Amino acid sequence: VSMQPCPAVPLSNGLRVPVLGLGTSHDGGYSHEAVVYALQECGIRHIDTAKRYGCEEALARSISESKVPHEDLWITTKLWPGDYGYQSTKQACRASAARLGVEYVDLYLIHWPDCTVPGRSNREVRADTWRALEEMYDEGLCRSIGVSNFLISHLEELKEDCGVVPHVNQVEFHPFQQPWELVEYCRREGIAFEGYCPLAKGQALNHPLILELAKKYNRSASQICIRWSIQWNLIRFIITNGFQNNGVITIPKSTKPHRILENCKVFEFQLEDKDMAALRALHDGRHVSWDPTHVA
Q: Which residues are marked as active site?
A: 53
> What are the residues whose beta carbons fall under 8 Å from the beta carbon of 84, sequence distance 6 or more?
110, 115, 117, 125, 126, 128, 129
Residue 258, marked binder: no
In sequence order, which residues have a C-beta less than 8 Å from that of residue 281 and are 6 or more positions away?
A: none
Q: Are 49 and 205 in contact (CB under 8 A)?
A: no
Q: How many CB atoms lie within 10 A of CB 152?
A: 15
Helix count and strand count (H, E) for the chain: 10, 10
Q: Considering just the CA atoms, what is the radius of gyration of the chain in Å? A: 18
Question: What single-letter amino acid sits at 25?
Answer: S
Answer whether 70's CB lies under 8 Å from 43's CB.
no
Q: 27 — alpha (psi -120 to 50), left (phi > 0) or beta? A: left
Question: Which residues does the annotation place in the binding site for substrate?
Answer: 111
